[in-house]
Amino acid sequence: MVFIGVDFGDKRVGIAKSDGVLATAVCSLCVDGISDAAAKVALQISSLGGSEVIIGLPKNMDSSEGPRARRTRRFGEKLKQLTGIDPIYFDERLTTAQAYVYMNETDFKSKKRKSVIDALSAKIILQGYLDQKRSAPPVI
């Protein structure tokens, strides 16, 4: 099974991939709106052989969903129409901040920092989902 992590944004979308154990950042896509983002991500899912899609859901700090979360869900629905895969939404609060901390700790100061941050955020989202899935008690 191939898991694809997605960090959806208005201008860039980060993509990560995993076989179910360790997530790896793949790329950042430049996009122009929800439809363009869904089409480009669907192509990535197909080329990577994705069978499950995990999309970061930007919840508010009180766990409520605001306009960004609703926009992300619209993106997820468009992606589902294109791929036939039901998206799984994973709370992405503070993942971008975690990505910036990681980049600062590793002294990453490249001009490509903006494009890398989205793929790294997708990796953090996907790894968080996988870790949570592994730690969940078995269903009997």
Q: Is 140 inside a domain boundary? A: no
- Average pLDDT along the chain: 86
Q: Is 63 inside a domain boundary? A: yes
The secondary element (H helix, E strand) that includes residue 43 is helix 34-48
Q: Is 128 inside a domain boundary? A: yes
Domain count, the chain: 1
pLDDT exceeds cutoff 90 at 118? no
Residues 53-97 pLDDT 10s: 999 998 877 878 889 999 999 999 999 999 999 999 998 866 665
Q: Which tokens hold the place of 106?
A: 């590793």
Residue 98: domain span: 3-132
Give the rounded distance of the alpha carbon of 89 from its chain centre.
9
Q: Which tokens hold the place of 71?
A: 């926009």
Answer for the pair 92, 121: CB distance below 8 angstroms, yes or no: yes
Q: Which tokens hold the place of 32?
A: 């122009």
Beta-carbon contacts of 1 under 8 Å, excluding residues fewer than 6 positions away, are 19, 20, 51, 52
